[in-house]
A and B are shown apart, each in its own frame.
Chain A
Amino acid sequence: MGAAAAVRVLVVDDSPVDRRVVERLLRTHCGGGGGAGGGEGAAPFHVTAVDSGKKAIELLALRLEGRRRKQLSPSAASDADEQAIDIVLTDYCMPEMTGYDLLKAIKALGSPNPIPVVVMSSENEPQRISRCLTAGAEDFILKPLKTNDVQRIRKCSGDRRCNNVSSSSSRTKTKTKLSPSDHTAKKVATPEQKTSHLAGLLAMVMNASSLEVSVSHYFQFVFKFILIAYAVLCLSQLLHRWSNGSFLSLWSA
């Protein structure tokens, strides 16, 4: 996989003009370069647009269902249209289901890992903005959208993907961190730091799977053994030289 994977955006707006303009804005400004080549370096946007909150929820539920089916049977052919949405960009003022209602529905739909939602509105109302942010919106953007708003949207979707990536890499990190941090826990002066380190260690150990725990314990023992053996050797060397002659001989080879 050379190029960055596309960021899949779901645009929800009852106005056809706004849908078209936002779609073109996202497709053109792929972060930094733009141009007809599309997505050189920065991940391109893959835009799906619907005209109501109801259709948005239906589409999201469908995509989630598709992903679950794919997880159960990975060999099944993956349709590009069935891939999950990375971020939802919704208008606030819509008939029947407002952007705020849609925001709450999406958060309820996707717990524990809900899809990030960015709300747009033509009205600059502080109460509306704080309401949306409190309900869990990643950001609130004023219409009409500008070029630098695309960066904000990219960042909001980027956080989610970083979370997915870091959760898998943090496991490998805990394995290597376990041994040196164990020693640093011993050497640290204050007892509070020691207990917090040990607590952190315990948490890391508990989070890891059973196989990883046994492997990391093994590494711990090996590491300790090697260090102790080395310390013993050094001490014996020192004692030997001390008993043989004066201090000066300690420095000679």
Chain B
Amino acid sequence: MAGAALRDQLSALLSSMFSQGLVDEQFEQLQMLQDEGGTPGFVAEVVTLFCDDAERIIAEIATLLEQPIVSFDKVDAFVHQLKGSSASVGAQKVKFTCMQFRQFCQEKSRDGCLMALAVVRNEFYDLRNKFQTMLQLEQQIQAYDHKQQ
């Protein structure tokens, strides 16, 4: 019974993530790769890699924007990296906010960049929370299934 409830929670979470546009079909592809390849934990691994990478990039951008003279090329390069990672994971909203961020980089507007950074950070933290909940639910389901056997 508890197992079914957990599974319902997980599928509800995933469908809300899809419907809100937090993740797109690339994330679905990753789930299919995990199922087809018979490699449980692949999605967890990629999601963790993405979260660590995004955290690092956001911190680097924040440091660059604090400098007296901002190197917009370097900021743009980091934003490009984050955009690439989020596209590979299927983090759609983060990807879109990165695209908007790059506009401000090209306009060489520090205020615009700071604002865009705040938006990217918020979207990323929101997505990371959902990913963490998803991984927790998966672990609980696995533990429950293991106990049943």
Decide whether A and B assemble into one complex: yes
**Residue B97 CB within 8 A of the other chain:** no
Please tell me if A136 contacts chain B, counting CB pairs below 8 Å. Answer: no
Asked if A161 is at the interface (CB within 8 A of a chain B CB), the reply is: no
Q: Does A24 contact B38, Cβ atoms closer than 8 Å? A: no
- Grouping DSSP codes into helix (H, G, I), strand (E, B) and loop, the B interface class, with mixed when no group exceeds half, is helix
Question: What is the distance, in angstroms, from A15's C-beta to the closest C-beta of chain B?
Answer: 5
Q: Which of B38, B42, B49, B80 contacts A17 (CB 8 A)?
A: B49
Q: Interface code B27-69, partner A: CB below 8 Å = 1, 0 otherwise? A: 0011001001111001001100110010000000000000000
Closest partner residue, chain A, to B54 (CB atom)? A17
Q: Which of A14, A20, A21, A36 has the most CB of B within 10 A?
A: A21
Is B100's beta carbon under 8 Å from chain A? Answer: no
* CB of B77 closer than 8 Å to a CB of A: yes
Residues of chain B within 8 A (CB-CB) of A35 are 36, 38
1/0 contact string of A110-133 vs chain B (CB within 8 Å): 000000000000100000000000
Using known A-B contacts A20-B45, A21-B46, A122-B87, determine if residue A15 contacts B81 with beta carbons closer than 8 Å. Answer: yes
Nearest-CB residue, chain B, relative to A21: B88
Shortest Cβ distance from B82 into A: residue: A15
B53 CB contacts on chain A under 8 angstroms? 15-17
When C-beta atoms are compared, the residue in chain B nearest to A14 turns out to be B81
Q: Tell me the bound Cα distance from A144 to B49 in angstroms.
A: 16
Task: Identify 9 new A-B residue pairs, CB closer than 8 A, beyond the known A144-B26, A146-B29.
Answer: A15-B81, A15-B88, A17-B49, A17-B53, A28-B36, A29-B36, A35-B36, A36-B37, A95-B77
Interface residues of B (CB under 8 A from A): 26, 29-30, 33, 36-39, 42, 45-46, 49-50, 53, 77, 80-81, 83-85, 87-89
